[in-house]
Amino acid sequence: MQAATPHDPHAALMALIKARYAELSPQFQAGARYLVDHPDEVAVSSMRSIATRAQVQSAALVRLAQQLGFAGWPELKAIFVERLRAGPGGYAEKAGALAGKDGNLVTEVFTVQQRNLAATESANHAALDAAATLLQAAPRVHVAGFRAAHPIAYTLHYLYRLLRPSVQLLSGQGGTLEMDLRALQAGEAVVVISFAPYSSEALLVAQAARQAGCQLIAISDSAISPLALQADASIVIAVDSPSFFPSIVAGIAAVESLAELLVARAGPGAVQAIGAAEKQLRTLGAYANTSNDVN
DSSP annotation string for 108-167: HHHHHHHHHHHHHHHH-HHHHHHHHHHHHH-SSEEEEE-GGGHHHHHHHHHHHHHH-TT-
Q: What is the pLDDT of residues 69-105, one digit of tens each?
A: 999 999 999 999 888 777 655 445 544 544 555 557 7
Of residues 195, 144, 136, 185, the one with CA closest to residue 163: 136
CA 215-132-145 angle, 5° bins: 60
Regarding the domain delimited by 9-89, which CATH topology (the fold level of the hierarchy) does it fall under? Answer: Arc Repressor Mutant, subunit A (1.10.10)
Q: What is the pLDDT of residues 132-190, one digit of tens each?
A: 999 999 999 999 999 999 999 999 999 999 889 999 999 888 888 999 999 999 999 99
Show me where the domains of the chain are located.
9-89, 105-284
Average pLDDT, the chain: 87
The sheet that has 168-169: what strands, in order across it? 168-169, 141-145, 189-193, 215-220, 233-236
- Burial zone of 64 (CB within 10 Å; 0-12 exposed, 13-18 middle, 19+ buried): buried
How far apart, in whole angstroms, are the C-alpha atoms of residue 159 and residue 153? 10
Domains 9-89 and 105-284 share a fold: no
Pick the CATH number of 105-284 from 3.40.50.10490, 3.10.129.10, 3.10.330.10, 3.40.50.620: 3.40.50.10490
Q: pTM of whole model > 0.85?
A: no
